[in-house]
Amino acid sequence: MALSFVRIIFIFFLWSIFLSANLNSHVIINELHPAPVGGEPEWIELFNSSDSTIILHDNLISNINTTKPLPEINIPAKGFVVLTSDTLKLQEHRKIPATAQLVKASLPVLHNTSDPVVFRNNDSTVIDSVYYDVKWGVRGISFERVDWSKPAVNVENLKPSESPDSATAGYANSLSSGASPIISYPRGCIQINEFLYDAGKYNAEFVELWNSTDDAINLRGWQFHDNPDKSASSILTFGACELTVQPKGYAVIAWDSALFVKFPELKGLANVLITSSGYSLSNTGDDIILADRTGETIDSLSYTPQWHVDRLTGTKDISLEKINTWFASCSRSFWSSCGDKRGATPARDNSIMQVLSGFINLSAEPNPFSAYGANAKTACIISYQLPFRNSWIDCRIFNPEGNQVAGIANNQYSAATGELEWNGRNSNGDLLPVGQYVLLLVASDAASDDVSEGKLILVIGE
């Protein structure tokens, strides 16, 4: 009874300081995660609701018994800042957008019961405050502010996130009007790199994925399906798993723990997921379609037993591997039988991996180019010279964060010289922002299967 009375008085106090602070401040506490799981660090998100950049200098952040100073931070108009004590660890669990700032800061340890969080000026004047009670939500799910213009001291305006990603760090809140809580990833950011469909008694079917980006990507809510109608029996959903694929790293998904009999070294690894499912890969051929939590296809292929080496006497316990992680998954020419003595290489480099070698000469004209304005040059012409007489080429465009934004050649047959065209648009046909982009061209010799690559910086101007 006495505790409830104290809480009522404290909440009334927070209401009063919000009403006085809201008149002269546009920086608010927009989201916080006091009870994360799986090793994720606690974090607090600030939002600048104004139309101008705000510089925070010598500000303070407090809970009921601790006050910590914050570093100097410039928050752009309508911008987000995510504060945490361990930025690298947080990036292993969350995809922080490039438009948001991730700032390392010493924060008060947020209580796992209830706590106020107060944001102050350097003279201790209150700028904003919130009050949470973990009973309002569930461990592992952040608290989001519903309406930033109102005080957040009760469950009416500080609610558990409804994002499938369990939080919206650096994004518009899932509970806000017009928000887009689901993070969509570009096609090709995660690629199918190896799979086993013909598993023996002491082994299991599996699919290995590779992260082509420089961001850790959590696969919570992603799924495999093997045909367009996506009937329940043909879907494997990763659910609320904590499977995170590290940058340029691997993850393995299997639906039988017998995988550990064949590969005991995989047991206990954070990048290996065993999940119960009726999903299976057919020995006569099948589709493997990887979709993110929005349902968008990220990578796909359609295999047959003929993808294996012709002279194999059997395919039992022998996986299919991609000859290079950067190659398109959908092309048979980029796959072959695993050559490892155990028949597969889950969670490590493929046994038939070809090191890219040789030299490709690339040039572009005009570069920079612009697709904007009445007099815009609507396309950039990329000229190339290959070290092979005839090749299969794959050409992709990446943004500065390492995410694929466009593909302009996919397993295309080519002579030693040729030209490609790029109009500055992404795979959906939308114009990309002004800035630098990286073109990667990979050529596989049609005669010998030798591989070469070349890179070129392309610039979209205004």
Could you read off the pLDDT of 315-328 as tens digits, one per residue?
A: 999 999 998 887 77
- The whole-number average pLDDT for the span 244-264 is 93
> Domain range holding 219?
190-337
Burial 110-137 (b: 16+ CB within 10 A, else e): bbeebbbbbbbbeeeebbbbbbbbbeeb
pLDDT of residue 460: 85
The CATH number of residue 270's host domain is: 2.60.40
How many other C-beta atoms are found inside a 10 Å radius of the C-beta of residue 389? 10
Q: How far is CA 426 from CA 24, 398, 403, 432, in A?
A: 42, 10, 11, 6
In a domain, 312, yes or no: yes
In a domain, 350, yes or no: no
Looking at the fold, whether 15 and 81 belong to one and the same domain comes out as yes
How many domains does one find in the chain?
3
- The whole-number average pLDDT for the span 327-331 is 80
Q: How far is CA 236 from CA 109, 219, 281, 342, in A?
A: 38, 12, 11, 26
In a domain, 180, yes or no: no
pLDDT of residue 112: 87
Q: Note the pLDDT tens digit of each residue in 118-147.
A: 998 887 788 888 999 999 988 889 999 988
Looking at the fold, whether 393 and 323 belong to one and the same domain comes out as no
> Which residue's structure tokens are 């969350």?
94
Looking at the fold, whether 302 and 397 belong to one and the same domain comes out as no
Of 116, 139, 160, the domain-final residue: 160
**% of the chain at pLDDT higher than 90:** 36
In a domain, 175, yes or no: no
In a domain, 184, yes or no: no
Q: Note the pLDDT tens digit of each residue in 247-256.
A: 889 999 998 9
Looking at the fold, whether 230 and 328 belong to one and the same domain comes out as yes
Looking at the fold, whether 448 and 327 belong to one and the same domain comes out as no
- Point out which residues pair with 191 in neighbouring strands: 210
Looking at the fold, whether 297 and 414 belong to one and the same domain comes out as no
Looking at the fold, whether 271 and 207 belong to one and the same domain comes out as yes
In a domain, 115, yes or no: yes
The CATH number of residue 6's host domain is: 2.60.40.1260
Looking at the fold, whether 455 and 385 belong to one and the same domain comes out as yes
Across 14-23, 57-66, 176-185, least confident range: 14-23
Looking at the fold, whether 12 and 156 belong to one and the same domain comes out as yes
CA distance 227 to 205: 18
pLDDT of residue 2: 45
pLDDT band at 369 (very low <50, low <70, confident <90, very high): confident
Preceding omega of 368 cis (within 30 degrees of 0): yes
CA distance 435 to 462: 9
Sheet with 190-196, edge to edge strand ranges: 272-274, 250-254, 206-211, 190-196, 320-322, 335-337
pLDDT of residue 177: 57
The CATH number of residue 365's host domain is: 2.60.40.4070
Would you call 343 helix, strand, or coil by DSSP? coil
Contact yes or no for 184/212 (Cβ under 8 A): no
223 pLDDT above the threshold of 60: yes
pTM for this prediction: 0.51
Backbone angles phi, psi at 303, to 5 degrees: -100, 160
pLDDT of residue 461: 80
> Which residue's structure tokens are 């000469």?
361
